[in-house]
Amino acid sequence: MTTIADGLKDVFLAGVGAMALGAEKTQELVEQLIAKGEITVEQGKEINSEVLKQAQATAERVGQQAQAAAGEAAHQAKTVASHLSDQAKTAGELAKEQAEAAVSMARSQAEMAADAAQKAAGEAKKDSADFAAALKHDVLEAQMAAMTPEERAAFAQKAAEIAARDAGDKVE
């Protein structure tokens, strides 16, 4: 029997798979264009920025879908619980006890679904952030590979200045 948590897991995994596939194809294209000299470092940065935005949007969308699914599951569970509660009132004492047990189970499943959705949303956001950071480094490495030694030296000097400034900001 498929549970609500399995459904939420499938939605989450589908979103992550789509992000990974899109990132791979984008990375391959950027590497090819840089290798051919058809794009500049600035264009590579723009592509990187756009891919990061899309990855974050996908993670947010997957999180929202998971939350919507959890909300629907909770709504359905409450509807079932209400129906079971009404039946318990018209049945004998034994039927009443069984209905209360079913209501308790439905509430537990709804809570588990809500917890799973929140966890999936959190993991999707974390995975998106990790993916974006990895992609940023990959694009930066590709850009560095396309630079001349002089451009690399200038880039390294600028990076050192920024790092020193950031370290100074943290101390204050």
Which residues fall within 8 angstroms of residue 111, CB to CB, at 6 or more apart?
A: none
Specify the pLDDT at position 112.
94
Specify the pLDDT at position 116.
92
Specify the pLDDT at position 41.
64
User: Phi/psi at 91 (nearest 5 deg)?
Assistant: -90, 175
Domain definitions of the chain by residue range: 4-147
pLDDT tens digits, 76-86: 888 887 877 77
Enter the pTM of the model: 0.33
Does an H or E element contain 165, and which?
helix 149-171
pLDDT < 50 regions, the chain:
none
pLDDT tens digits, 117-148: 999 999 999 999 999 989 988 988 888 888 89
Q: Do 128 and 58 contact (CB within 8 A), yes or no?
A: yes
